[in-house]
Amino acid sequence: MTTNNPQPQDEFYVNYLPMPRSWSAFLLKFLPLLIAGVLIFAYILPTVHDQYNKGGFSKRTDYLGYLVANPVPHLIVPRPGNTEAGADYSYYLLAAGNKAGPPKKVMEQAGNWVTLTGLPIARNNLTLLAAFKAETAEAPEGFDLDLKGKSLGEFTVEGEIVDPKCYNGVMKPGRTKTHRGCAIRCISGGIPPTLVSHNAQGDTIYFVLSDLEDQAVNDRVLNIVGDPLRITGEVVQFGDTFVLKADPETYEVI
Amino acid sequence: MSVSYKSIQWNRQKIIYDLLLVATIALYLYLFVWSTQWFGGADVERGLRAIWIRAYGSAAFILLHVILSIGPLTRLSPKFYPLLFNRRHMGVVMFLLGVQHARGTLAWYHDFGNLDPIVSLLTGNLNFGFIPFPFELLGIGGLLILGLMAITSHDFWLHNLTAPVWKALHMCVYLAYSLLVGHVFLGALQTNKHPFLTIAVGIGLVWIVGVHFWAARKEAGCDRQTFLINTEGFADIGSISEIPENRAKVVTLAGERIAVFKYDGKISAISNVCQHQNGPLGEGKILDGCITCPWHGYQYRPEDGASPPPFTEKVPTFAVRLQGDRIFLSATPNLPGTPVEPAVIA
Ligand code: HEM
Ligand code: HEM
Ligand code: FES
């Protein structure tokens, strides 16, 4: 019916008809721009994410150490060689291979020297072992076991509670809001909650958390994992590791 | 439906559209992971599982911005119509990206623990303060809406749900968008403090709101024009010369948008709202004697508002009269498909 269209330039398009030339010319310019614009995000976004750090895990190793259950499961591992310059043992936190505290079979041997098979997961000077098994072992000779630690007095520190397994490098960044759900899972499963703090020089300092009765605080901090906190309490040093003793009721969200 | 549409459910342009869509997304995901490794070197998470969560989530969120821009852009220039007709495939692809993102989250952040992953996702964080708010719940809300839209996206549902219900469902995409902006603001932006991210999400929001206002202002020009309806129920809506051949002028009478077409020396008026997906018929054109919707090409005869057989879609028609070169349009719709004698131009 519409034989002589008086407006040849009256362009119209539906998807089952050929596209007018000026429209395809427009799309040939617009689409590459749109696609390039989208792809630029793929390139830039990873660089502005907090997802890189030196933490990580290596391979399964056997450790000779003294197994302790409180305030959190940990292993005291004597350091070999001349240790005059620093601590003569390491304080390794313990967890399981999943989001849980170390297996029952391992913790049944708390209070003994053991050979523990674990996967070390370390970031800075904080190390956690994913413990798989432990066998009773002979106490090493000439090692002076210190279960009391050294009290450094009372301090107020600010920081954020993390689960040291993910934070140490299983997941990156393994801290703050996006990781909150996972950290709650880990800590409620028994992974020792640890406060990540920064001093005025920007150094990162870790505090393993304990209540005043030398018990774990896991179930009492789930609601504030990843939040900025202020905690005042006694700091006790074990080797290179600090334990912060305070009643979780007194933790302040800032 | 249109005569020429029937046999062409899949046509060359749809295939090009989908290929471009899928290729762009595949390239995006690949580039995201590659870039992460390139910049991170040895410091990247082993196994890349969180990286994929971020790649899928960001791809879905960017695609959502594109989808939401198309509608208003076509109001600003018809040259964007080729992006519109297959928007539903974009929507479904975006939903699938969201599903992958959510599956990754469930498996990586909520599995291997002392609770079922779904229970952990829903109840792990119950601190409903502003910043600690469980942003995952906002993501779930958004994903549920997108899922409902994707599931009902086939035209089959459009017929069965009826257009108003379906349209209401589609307007929920804006609710989904708000939930997802909240999801990103209370999630990723709290962890990643680099200003680029905050600024990018902010610009996205301003763009989406802005382009909708811009398009709405342009449309409002047509709605704001008021016409006096005379005692016989007709209104003088303008002169014949305003309407290009085979095209329409859209006017709003008694709250209803009406498309007044000029073709073959005649004037006819039908509802502006396409029965398929409410496309704007007045922006269509008469092809082969039928008003052709600019969205997906459904066709209606100007004389009775009915699709040519074998199709059955019908839209309301309106009576038209001419006095000199003035067009008088009835404000009262006839039942869909009612034949109306076109006004013949002297
Ligand atoms: C069940 C539904 C959802 C859940 C549980 C969920 C969960 C998450 C989680 C945990 C993160 C943080 C990931 C990380 O940085 O490690 C995240 C980030 C994100 N989500 Fe979702 N999400 C859901 C749905 C969606 C949907 C439907 C979209 C978009 C359409 C979306 C868009 C995003 C974006 C853009 C990010 C930021 C990614 C980045 O860091 O670049 N999410 N989501
Ligand atoms: C997850 C999938 C989908 C998404 C995200 C989506 C997105 C949208 C958006 C953003 C709008 C409103 C704004 C605008 O006009 O541009 C909209 C409206 C619309 N959508 Fe979808 N869409 C999806 C699936 C579909 C499907 C499958 C169809 C077709 C069956 C469809 C057809 C329409 C139509 C016709 C409108 C216009 C309603 C009106 O303005 O009256 N959409 N959709
Ligand atoms: S043809 Fe799809 S809305 Fe008109």
The alpha-carbon gap from B324 to the nearest alpha carbon of chain A, in Å, equals 22
Q: What percent of chain A has pLDDT over 90?
A: 72
Statement to judge: residues B130 and B56 lie in one domain? yes
Give the number of other Cβ atoms within 10 Å of residue A30's Cβ: 15
Cross-strand partners of A160: A196, A228
Token output for B38: 């390139």
Statement to judge: residues B257 and B189 lie in one domain? no
Do the chains contact at A15 and B297, CB–CB below 8 Å?
A: yes
The alpha-carbon gap from B318 to the nearest alpha carbon of chain A, in Å, equals 22
Ligand nearest to the CA of B71: 2
Ligand 1 close to Cβ of residue B93 (< 6 A): no
Statement to judge: residues B215 and B255 lie in one domain? no
Do the chains contact at A172 and B247, CB–CB below 8 Å?
A: no
Give the chain B residue whose CA is nearest to the CA of A183.
Answer: B109
Task: Please list the pLDDT of chain B residue by residue as tens digits (346 residues).
Answer: 455 444 446 778 888 899 999 999 999 999 999 999 999 988 999 889 999 999 999 999 999 999 999 999 988 988 898 888 888 899 999 999 999 999 999 999 999 988 999 999 998 888 888 888 999 999 999 999 999 999 888 777 777 777 778 778 888 999 999 999 999 999 999 999 999 999 999 999 999 999 999 998 887 766 667 788 888 889 998 999 999 999 999 998 888 899 999 999 999 999 999 988 888 999 999 998 999 998 888 999 999 999 998 888 999 999 999 998 899 999 889 999 899 999 988 7
Q: What is the pLDDT of residues B63-90, one digit of tens each?
A: 999 999 999 998 898 889 888 888 889 9
Do the chains contact at B191 and A50, CB–CB below 8 Å?
A: yes
**Residue B64 Ramachandran class (φ > 0 left, ψ -120 to 50 alpha, else beta):** alpha
Statement to judge: residues B285 and B137 lie in one domain? no
Q: Is residue B229 part of a domain?
A: no
CB B216, CB B78: distance < 8 Å:
no
N-term to C-term CA, chain B: 32
Do the chains contact at A52 and B44, CB–CB below 8 Å?
A: yes
Looking at residue A69, its pLDDT comes to: 92
Interface of A with B in 173-212 (CB under 8 A): 173, 175-182, 184-186, 188-189
The alpha-carbon gap from B130 to the nearest alpha carbon of chain A, in Å, equals 12
CA atoms of B346 and B341, how far apart (whole Å): 15
Mutation site, B94, B191, B240, interface A, largest A CB count within 10 A? B191
List the CATH number of the domain containing B267: 2.102.10.10
Give the number of other Cβ atoms within 10 Å of residue A36's Cβ: 10
Instruction: Write the burial class of residue A138 (CB in 10 Å: 0-12 exposed, 13-18 middle, 19+ buried).
Output: exposed
Nearest to A20 by CA among A28, A12, A32, A8: A12
Q: What is the pLDDT of residues B114-153, one digit of tens each?
A: 899 999 999 888 888 888 899 999 999 999 999 999 988 8
Report ipTM (2 d.p.): 0.90
CA atoms of A75 and B333, how far apart (whole Å): 84
**Residue minimizing CA distance to atom 31 of ligand 1:** B57
Ligand nearest to the CA of B166: 2
R_g (Cα) of chain A, nearest Å:
28
Statement to judge: residues B205 and B160 lie in one domain? yes
Statement to judge: residues B210 and B316 lie in one domain? no
Q: Residue B45 is nearest to which of A10, A16, A51, comparing CB atoms?
A: A51
Query: What class does CATH assign to A150-253?
Result: mainly beta
Mean pLDDT of A108-124: 93
B204-221 in b/e form (b: 16+ CB < 10 A) is bbeebeebbeebeeebee
Give the chain A residue whose CA is nearest to the CA of B13.
Answer: A15
Beta-strand runs (E) in B71-142: none
Same fold, A56-136 and A150-253: yes
Segments making up each domain of chain A, as ranges: 56-136, 150-253
- Residues of chain B with Cβ-Cβ distance to A31 below 8 Å are 20
Statement to judge: residues B248 and B197 lie in one domain? no
Centroid of ligand 3 to alpha carbon of B43 (angstroms): 51
Residue identified by tokens 């009826």 is B162
CA atoms of A163 and A194, how far apart (whole Å): 6
Instruction: Domain count for chain B, please give it.
Output: 2
**Packing angle of the helix pair B195-224, B163-186 (nearest 10 deg):** 150
Q: Is residue B122 part of a domain?
A: yes
Q: What are phi and psi of A57, to 5 degrees?
A: -115, 155
Domain hosting B188: range is 12-222
**Ligand 2 atom with the shortest distance to the CA of B167:** 38
Q: Which of B170, B191, B222 is the last residue of a domain?
A: B222
Lowest mean pLDDT among A82-91, A97-106, B145-154, B298-307: A82-91
Do the chains contact at A178 and B110, CB–CB below 8 Å?
A: no
Instruction: Write the burial class of residue A171 (CB in 10 Å: 0-12 exposed, 13-18 middle, 19+ buried).
Output: buried
The alpha-carbon gap from B255 to the nearest alpha carbon of chain A, in Å, equals 28
Statement to judge: residues B336 and B208 lie in one domain? no
Q: Is residue B118 part of a domain?
A: yes
Report the CATH fold assignment for A56-136: OB fold (Dihydrolipoamide Acetyltransferase, E2P) (2.40.50)
Nearest to A185 by CA among A218, A160, A210, A229: A218
Centroid of ligand 1 to alpha carbon of B61 (angstroms): 9
A85 band by pLDDT with thresholds 50, 70 and 90: low
Ligand 3 close to Cβ of residue B2 (< 6 A): no
Give the number of other Cβ atoms within 10 Å of residue B40's Cβ: 18
**Residue minimizing CA distance to atom 2 of ligand 3:** B296
Q: Residue A185 is nearest to which of B110, B188, B293, comparing CB atoms?
A: B110
**Residue minimizing CA distance to atom 2 of ligand 1:** B140
Q: Which of B193, B222, B251 is the last residue of a domain?
A: B222
DSSP string of chain A?
---S-S-TT-----TTSPPPHHHHHHHHHHHHHHHHHHHHHHHHGGGGSS---S-EE---EEEEEEEE-SSS-EEEEEPPS--TTS-SEEEEEEE-SSSSSSPHHHHTTTTSEEEEEEEEEEETTEEEEEEEEEEE-PPPTT----SS-EEEEEEEEEEEEE-HHIIIIISSS--HHHHHHHHHHHHHHTPPPEEEEE-TT--EEEEEEE-TTS---GGGSGGGTTSEEEEEEEEEEETTEEEEE--GGG-EE-
CA atoms of A47 and A65, how far apart (whole Å): 41
Centroid of ligand 2 to alpha carbon of B212 (angstroms): 14
CA atoms of B169 and B73, how far apart (whole Å): 21
Beta-strand runs (E) in B84-141: none
Ligand nearest to the CA of B294: 3
Statement to judge: residues B206 and B260 lie in one domain? no
Ligand 2 close to Cβ of residue B74 (< 6 A): no
pTM given for the model = 0.86
Q: What is the pLDDT of residues A149-196, one digit of tens each?
A: 899 999 999 999 999 999 999 999 999 999 999 999 999 999 999 999
Q: What is the pLDDT of residues A33-54, one digit of tens each?
A: 999 999 999 999 999 999 999 9
Statement to judge: residues B40 and B189 lie in one domain? yes
Q: Which of B199, B222, B245 is the last residue of a domain?
A: B222
Give the distance from CA B264 to its chain's centroid. 33
